[in-house]
Amino acid sequence: MHSYKKRSIGMVFLSFIALTILSVFFSGQISSAKKKVVKDTYVVLQSQSKHIGHSYKNRIINSNPKKIKIKKNKQEGIFVTAKKPGKAKLKVITKKTKYIYTIKVLSIDDIEKTATKKLNEKLSKLGISSGYVLADLNGDKVTDLYANGCCYAYNYFKKKLIKITLDVCPENIESIRISQEKRMIYLEAAPGTAARTTEAPSVLTPPTTKDDDFDPYYGTPIGVFYGFDDTTYYDDGFFLVNRDYSIQKYTFPQYFVDSKIFVEGTDYYFFNDVNYDQDDYWYEPFAKEDIEKKIDSLMPDSILFPVNASSGE
């Protein structure tokens, strides 16, 4: 009799443990099922990286490590680097949400062939034989086109050419400097040509005595700087942003700056930066060689492309 009671108690105890385990298991399943699921698709060019976001502490599942590589950053979260053409799924699991990203990796060789073909077709339609540059402007290893004050790029996400009209640019460019490290380009006007701008420049009266003031702020630039903004590339197609600084050139009669006299008929250059108060050097003119050094300091790794050039020449 006692043996029967012991067995009964043991069975009840084991049943209790089993029910506890099952309740924990099913509650976990229910909890998991209650997670909100968010799906999205990203197109990434081979060898390029895409910022996904989220916290680096979240659980991450990479379905195809051969196609994409995951990198975590404490400050900026999760990045995906495209390795080989194809598809992969990336799951990011947070407390309340499961994010499922389909990553499409495009072949850089295929995209370059398509882009070059479409840009040459555009160049033919424009009917111009000079004043253009075919080169990789934004550092994605795909050729772009500058012509007639506009940049044309192949948007491989939308599978079409996009046109970016520059608000300030030379009417007749001599060259384009490209700095992929600093994410900048510099467009320089040909000799004797001023830059076209959406705002008409004021007429300057150079000082002729040391007591006169000279403010070159409203002059017309001969060269302008642009930077790249990849955050807007897929949204509206515009990836070039005016950096709000330019090079201005003047050939004046004899005049004075800070009681220093400058020789009549000499070319002088001014670096115009409207981002902040630059009184310390605003009135200081540069000679030709000095302004070249200034540009080099802003774009130390820049490559110079003359007009009618391509990155393949």
- What's the confidence (pLDDT) of residue 197? 45
Q: Work out the pLDDT band at 69, boundaries 50, 70, 90.
A: very high
Mean per-residue pLDDT over the chain, rounded: 73
- What's the confidence (pLDDT) of residue 309? 59
Task: Give dist(CA 270, CA 289) in Å, integer.
Answer: 12
pTM over 0.85, yes/no: no
- What's the confidence (pLDDT) of residue 199? 44
Over pLDDT 90: what percentage of the chain?
Answer: 12
Task: Give dist(CA 13, CA 19) in Å, integer.
Answer: 10
What CATH fold (topology level) applies to the domain 36-106? Immunoglobulin-like (2.60.40)
Residues 72-100: pLDDT tens digits?
888 888 889 899 999 999 999 988 889 99
Question: 193: which residues sit within 8 A by CB, 6+ positions away?
Answer: 170, 171, 172, 222
pLDDT at 284 over 50: yes
pLDDT at 232 over 80: no
* Average pLDDT rounded to a whole number, residues 145-164: 85
Max mean pLDDT among 24-28, 99-103, 264-268, 292-296 falls in 99-103
Task: Give dist(CA 78, CA 100) in Å, integer.
Answer: 14
- What's the confidence (pLDDT) of residue 185? 84
Residues 117-129: pLDDT tens digits?
999 999 999 888 7
Residues 196-228: pLDDT tens digits?
444 444 444 444 554 555 554 445 567 778 777
The ranges assigned to domains in the chain are 36-106, 117-310
Three-state helix/strand/coil letters over the chain: CHHHHHHHHHHHHHHHHHHHHHHHHHHHHHHHHCCEEEEEEEEEECCCEEEEECCCCCEEEECCCCCEEEEEECCCEEEEEECCCEEEEEEEECCCEEEEEEEEEECHHHHHHHHHHHHHHHHHHHCCCCCEEEECCCCCCCCEEEECCEEEEEECCCCEEEEEECCEEECCEEEEEEECCCCEEEEEECCCCCEEECCCCCCCCCCCCCCCCCCHHHCCEEEEEEEECHHHHHHHCCCEEEEEEEEEEEECCCEEECCEEECCCCEEEEEEECCCCCCCCCCCCECHHHHHHHHHHHCCCCEEEECCEECCC
